Amino acid sequence: METQTQTVQQRVFRQRHSANPPGKRIVYWMQQAQRVAYNPALDYAISKAVETALPLQVYFFLSNAIPDATAQHYRFMLEGLAETGRELQKLNIPLHIAVADDGKIPEAPFKDAACLVMDHGYLDWQKRWRDEVYATCEQSGCSIVEIDTEATVPVHLASPKEEYSAATLRRKILPLLNDFLLADPVKMEVRKTQLPSVKLATEHSGSFEDSKNLWDWAAIELKLPAETGPGYAIQGSHSEALYELDSFIRAKLKDYATMRNHPNLDIQSNMSAYLHFGQISPIEIMHRVLEHTGTPPQAIPNMIADKNRLTGMAQSIGAYAEELIIRRELAMNFCHYNPAYENSNSLPQWARQSLNDHLGDPRETDYSLDRLELGETEDIYWNAAQKQLLHSGKMHNYMRMYWGKRLLAWCPGVDEAYQILAYLNNKYELDGRDANGWAGIAWCFGKHDRPWATRPIYGMVRFMNAGGLNRKFDMEAYLKQWSKE
């Protein structure tokens, strides 16, 4: 318990304590961490409720002002929230899902809180929401605690600045990693209480037995359009994440290090959408990998550092931990510290200068956004990748890199390519619109990479072409799977 308490305290991004808070309840504003299991902010809120003998209530706010969110994104999220509501009810903790009109968080739930706990967000709009609520609660005199729940090692603790590459961040994360991997989540219940909650005009609470009822309510309140195009087969929730993870660990993990880049194969964990919506924690993912393979947590830092010298399952665990922890948290570092992450001003100076030096180079062709969106270019591999995205809500990671870089050959410059890629990624990827998505877009244009040999259009930015795909992979199999969709 002492280790867990110390670890949760290390996760605190900011806090304000009041000696005599006037409130009658503990409130956890759940937003980024949409789960019960492995949720440090919920753990902290439960411990405060036990310590103060006050009831705990959880609020989640829906908004139609979430940038680029579509009906498919809301549907996936609400499937997870319905399950979260059921799991909280087992702990005698009510979940209240309310509407934040135009992104304005209602003040009422916080006005009589003795302590507000909230999870941390890495994007500008998430920070703005939290800053507004923080200011509201400061005026009311309640205690406030904001906790980083989604990074294995909290972003602000891992580094005080934007990191140049995975290598520079890796050196900082690895010495801290065991402290957080070895911390077990708190398992406690709070007593049932009859204290009435703050009832908001637009609120869904009580029964969460059927996610369809939640969807129907949200669709009306937010004026959501019907889902259009092919429905994504993937379903949201913590239990669905665990089912997918178990399949990966048992059937695919052993080949991850050597086969994950093959587009015609699915040697991937498919955790990105669940991580995006906070339906599963990266620490729980690692714990399940370690438990299945009999690997002690203390071995992970060395497995990451030595992954290129290892073989077999050890190499795959190291490679997967590199992606799940180092690369994912490099993306968080990027968005947390670089205010220009949504545009090409976020690129390193050498990359932007090199691309601008080649603005006059002839482009291959000029495609309208409509043709790009439908996957109607002369590049059969690009089209297949776009159709995989349209029909499944995700794209194979290697093809995502190729797909992004090819836009430079078709756009007048990096600014246009950056914005088109952001539009396609954020609209169709279930895991779009988060730190990983923004870092992936920027990587296509030189972020977190090094200069390469100069070539037309791309300058010194890393180049990928169809010839490279054909040399490395069975692209015919990939085309058969996706080009006719």
Asked if residue 447 and residue 377 are part of one domain, the reply reads yes
The rounded distance, in Å, linking the Cα atoms of 285 and 183 is 14
Residues 264 and 349 in one domain: no
Residue 174 within a domain: no
Lowest average pLDDT, out of 9-18, 242-251, 396-405, 460-469, goes to: 9-18
The answer to whether position 188 is within a domain reads no
Query: Does some domain include residue 184?
Result: no
User: What is the arithmetic mean of pLDDT over 128-146?
Assistant: 91
Asked whether the predicted pLDDT for residue 277 surpasses 80, the reply is: yes
- Under the banding of pLDDT at 50, 70 and 90, the label for residue 481 is very high
pLDDT tier at 206 (50, 70, 90 boundaries)?
Answer: low
H helical segments located in 92-165: 108-111, 124-140, 155-158
CB 307 within 8 A of CB 322: yes
Residue 184 predicted with pLDDT over 90: no
Q: pLDDT above 70 covers what percent of the chain?
A: 93
Residue 367: how many CB atoms within 10 A of its CB? Answer: 19
Evaluate whether residue 211 is within a structural domain: no
Give the pLDDT of residue 346.
98
Q: 14 and 51, same structural domain?
A: yes
Residue 421 domain-assigned (yes or no): yes
When divided into structural domains, the chain yields a total of 3
pLDDT at 185: 62
The CATH number linked to 107 is 3.40.50.620
pLDDT in tens, 36-63: 999 999 999 999 998 888 999 999 999 9
> Which of 97, 122, 149 marks a domain boundary?
149
Query: Does residue 195 form part of some domain?
Result: no
Nearby residues of 212 by Cβ (< 8 Å), 6 or more positions away: none
Least reliable range by pLDDT among 2-11, 167-176, 430-439, 471-480: 2-11
Mean pLDDT, the chain, integer: 92
Task: Evaluate if residue 358 carries a pLDDT over 90.
Answer: yes
Give me the domain span that covers residue 272. 238-337
Coil vs helix vs strand at 280: coil
pLDDT tops 80 at residue 437: yes
The answer on pLDDT for 4 being more than 80 is no
Residue 481 DSSP symbol: H
Q: What is the pTM of this model?
A: 0.95
Q: What is the mean pLDDT of residues 84-100?
A: 92
Higher pLDDT, 405 or 230: 405
User: Do 103 and 138 have their domain in common?
Assistant: yes
**CATH number for the domain harbouring residue 247:** 1.25.40.80
Helix axes 238-251, 71-90, angle to 10 degrees: 100
User: What is the pLDDT confidence band of residue 183, given thresholds at 50, 70 and 90?
Assistant: confident
Q: Per the domain annotation, does 311 fall within a domain?
A: yes
Give 90: exposed, middle or buried? Use CB within 10 Å, 0-12, 13-18, 19+: exposed
Final residue of a structural domain among 149, 164, 184: 149
Q: What is the per-residue pLDDT for 2? A: 44
* φ and ψ of 270, to 5 deg: 60, 35
pLDDT of residue 82: 96
Residues 308 and 245 in one domain: yes
Average the pLDDT over 103-121 and give the result: 91
Same-domain check for residues 64 and 80: yes
Q: In the prediction, which pLDDT does 232 show?
A: 79
Take residue 307 and report the two structure tokens written for it: 């992954």
321/450 same-domain check: no
Of 107, 130, 149, the domain-final residue: 149
31 shares a domain with 101: yes
Q: Where are the alpha helices (DSSP H) in 323-379?
A: 328-337, 349-357, 369-374
